[in-house]
């Protein structure tokens, strides 16, 4: 059902978007810190040979061999560059490219007009990029930059980000330290909506390419930069159109690897750990509707439609899908990496984690240990949140219809079908209890052949169903994963944090709890990564909220990360 097909009451409601959840990115970094608090329970004894037969083997830091790297390192570490890069990001932030759930087509709705200003800004500030890349505008506002490499046998590298930002609630503007679209660099922070989500990705990639081109770089491998414009509302017009364009031009699985916004890094249990997401949760919005006979409130039935709906919703909340830690759960890989590489993990816990590789009792024990907090449970399992509800039109009239919308984020080892079947099972006894017919996702469960008090209908809302993302390979033969891991480790080796502490970075394959634009790109590559090299302390207050800001000195590290990634991919022959 499209919005135009919805009952009037539901059509008026703004559907929950499918946010990029950069807020959840920072929640994922909070996961790292939560893991740290669970893992760190006093000083650990010596690890001994705990990492024998390691499952979390680390790639060596991968530094580009190009002489351009040395030239650019001097630039990236200079104070004038830090200020210049901050101003380039700040200028993009000052263009308030907000996207709304109810936006019309990009060539019709005037609220899209500021995106044209952003396009002009990019053309003016990055002339080298626009002289070397061919720019194709897809569906009016989506940007696809292509620079054909000298070797046509190499698969392209696809880097993506998005132009749009979450709107700022007008009543919160006074709570911002700096105005939300100021783009101000105060020497410590770059302020404004988009500094963390996701203009930092667009501008960091552009700065990387501008600097490479100005120093004579010519790619061997084709480079593609793709920037959607409605990621914050699901990418139905932006990344969807980009995917269709690239599939038609290059074909299925034509990209060597895809890198989009996503995970970051943080320190816990004595280890600095990066979490590139190799998969994403699935998604499903469910509409629960109860239709009953109307009438005057002076002669009410024992239970109105609102009462029946309430009973059903209460039953669903009493019986959530219980999370289970399995060996295929992304969190399991994170725990393995912590057990192998974090020095402050207590010895007994480390042994349980390592033993769980082959011992089911140890696996259950580890699961019981970690699935005790709401954050851990939500990351591992399928979540449900009742977010919208409506019913009735007048206080003295019985409601003929009541409905609610439930948002689900589906565990990586589950499916849309499994969730739908569970909801059907939970709804069936409620329908029987109240003598209601039940239709669940197009199937008649409790028939209408006998006299019934009404109908309960479960249905997919807003064409929202999305299976969990295919998992990107990370085994010993996964060249793209090891290239990305080596790039992350090399990037961190050049950071001020590494030089100050001497602590190296561990790369742990993770997941992204939300959905990025990569959900449209599954057919373009089997090697999709979601990672931004954003540190846990480098965002002032997260994203999708007040006081979004990026630490000024962190931005060059993000630019370095993209520079190394581009050069390493160009030099590699192991990712095709």
Angle ∠(302,304,308) on CA atoms, nearest 5: 100
Judge contact between 24 and 514, C-beta under 8 A.
Answer: yes
Judge contact between 515 and 163, C-beta under 8 A.
Answer: no
Is 260 known to sit in a ligand binding site?
Answer: yes
Judge contact between 6 and 381, C-beta under 8 A.
Answer: no
Taking the C-alpha atoms of residue 390 and residue 7, their distance in angstroms, rounded to an integer, is 11
Taking the C-alpha atoms of residue 482 and residue 469, their distance in angstroms, rounded to an integer, is 20
Q: Which member of 98, 198, 231, 517 is catalytic?
A: 231
532 carries an active-site annotation: no
Taking the C-alpha atoms of residue 15 and residue 2, their distance in angstroms, rounded to an integer, is 11
CB burial string 318-339: b at 16+ within 10 A, e below = eeebebebeeebbbbbbbbbbb
| Residue 422, phi then psi, degrees to nearest 5 | -65, -45
How far, CA to CA in Å, does 229 sit from each of 108, 124, 195, 314, 386?
Answer: 15, 19, 16, 38, 28
- CA-CA-CA-CA torsion for 124, 129, 131, 134, nearest 10 degrees? -110
Judge contact between 214 and 72, C-beta under 8 A.
Answer: no
Instruction: Name the helix (H) or strand (E) containing 37.
Output: helix 22-39
Judge contact between 35 and 334, C-beta under 8 A.
Answer: yes
Among candidate residues 412, 391, 385, 415, the one with its CA nearest the CA of residue 403: 391
How far, CA to CA in Å, does 427 sit from each of 52, 311, 391, 563?
Answer: 49, 10, 19, 53
Displacement of CA 563 from its chain's centroid (Å): 22
Judge contact between 403 and 421, C-beta under 8 A.
Answer: no
Among candidate residues 93, 95, 266, 86, the one with its CA nearest the CA of residue 188: 86
Is 162 known to sit in a ligand binding site?
Answer: yes
Judge contact between 407 and 387, C-beta under 8 A.
Answer: yes
Among candidate residues 178, 204, 175, the one with its CA nearest the CA of residue 191: 178
Taking the C-alpha atoms of residue 94 and residue 535, their distance in angstroms, rounded to an integer, is 24
Task: Report the 10 Å Cβ neighbour count for 410.
Answer: 24
164 carries an active-site annotation: yes
Residue 133, SS3 per DSSP: coil
Instruction: Name the helix (H) or strand (E) containing 450.
Output: none
Quote the DSSP letter at residue 357: T
Q: How long, in residues, is the chain? A: 576
Which alpha helices (H) appear in 449-549, and where do they start and end? 479-493, 496-501
Binding-site members are 162, 197, 232, 260, 544
- The residues carrying an active-site annotation are 164, 231
Binding-site members for Zn(2+) are 162, 197, 232, 260, 544
């Amino acid at each position: 059902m499209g919005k135009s097909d919805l009952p009037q009451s539901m059509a008026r409601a703004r559907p929950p978007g499918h946010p990029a959840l950069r807020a959840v990115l920072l929640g994922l970094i909070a996961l790292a810190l939560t893991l740290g608090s669970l893992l760190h329970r006093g000083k650990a004894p010596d690890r001994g040979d705990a990492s024998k037969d390691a499952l979390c083997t680390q790639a060596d830091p991968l530094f580009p061999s190009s002489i351009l790297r040395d030239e650019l390192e001097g630039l990236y570490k200079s104070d004038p560059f830090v200020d210049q890069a901050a101003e380039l990001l700040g200028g993009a932030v000052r263009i308030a490219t907000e996207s709304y759930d109810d936006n019309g087509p990009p060539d019709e709705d005037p609220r899209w007009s500021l995106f044209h200003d952003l396009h002009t800004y990019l053309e003016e500030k990055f002339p080298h990029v626009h002289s070397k890349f061919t720019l194709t505008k897809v569906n009016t506002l989506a940007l696809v930059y292509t620079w054909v490499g000298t070797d046509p046998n190499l698969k392209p590298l696809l880097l993506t980000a998005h132009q749009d930002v979450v709107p700022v609630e007008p009543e919160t503007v006074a709570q911002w330290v700096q105005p939300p679209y100021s783009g101000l660099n105060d020497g410590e922070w770059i302020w404004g909506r988009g500094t963390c989500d996701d203009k930092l990705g667009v501008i960091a990639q552009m700065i990387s390419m501008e600097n490479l081109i100005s120093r004579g770089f010519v790619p061997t491998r084709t480079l593609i930069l793709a920037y959607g414009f409605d990621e914050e509302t699901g990418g139905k017009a932006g990344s969807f159109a980009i995917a269709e364009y690239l599939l038609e031009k290059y074909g299925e699985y034509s990209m060597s690897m895809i890198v989009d916004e996503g995970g970051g890094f943080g320190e816990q249990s004595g280890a600095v750990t990066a979490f590139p997401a190799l998969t994403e949760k699935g998604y499903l919005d469910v509409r629960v509707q109860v239709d009953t006979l109307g009438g005057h409130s002076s002669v009410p039935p024992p239970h109105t439609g609102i009462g029946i709906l309430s009973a059903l919703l209460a039953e669903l909340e009493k019986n959530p899908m219980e999370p289970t830690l399995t060996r295929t759960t992304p969190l399991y890989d994170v725990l393995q990496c912590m057990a192998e590489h974090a020095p402050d993990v207590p010895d007994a816990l480390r042994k349980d984690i390592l033993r769980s590789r082959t011992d089911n009792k140890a696996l259950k024990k580890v699961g019981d240990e970690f699935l005790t907090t709401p954050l851990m449970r939500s990351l591992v399992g399928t979540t449900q949140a009742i977010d919208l509800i409506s019913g009735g039109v007048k206080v003295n009239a019985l409601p003929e219809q009541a409905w609610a919308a439930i948002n689900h984020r589906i565990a990586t080892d589950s499916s849309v079908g499994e969730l739908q079947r569970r909801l059907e099972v939970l709804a069936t006894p409620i329908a029987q209890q109240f003598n209601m017919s039940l239709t669940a996702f197009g199937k008649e469960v409790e028939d209408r052949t006998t006299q019934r008090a009404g109908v309960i209908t479960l249905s997919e809302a807003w064409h929202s169903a999305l299976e969990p993302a295919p998992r990107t390979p990370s085994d010993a033969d996964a060249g793209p994963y090891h290239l990305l891991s080596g790039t992350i480790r090399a990037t961190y080796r050049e950071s001020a944090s590494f030089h100050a502490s001497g602590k190296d970075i561990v790369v742990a394959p993770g997941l992204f709890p939300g959905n990025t634009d990569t959900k449209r790109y599954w057919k373009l590559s089997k090697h999709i990564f979601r990672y931004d090299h954003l540190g846990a302390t480098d965002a002032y207050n997260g994203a999708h909220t007040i006081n979004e800001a990026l630490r000024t000195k962190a931005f060059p590290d993000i630019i370095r990360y993209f520079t190394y990634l581009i050069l390493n991919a160009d030099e590699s022959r192991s990712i095709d």
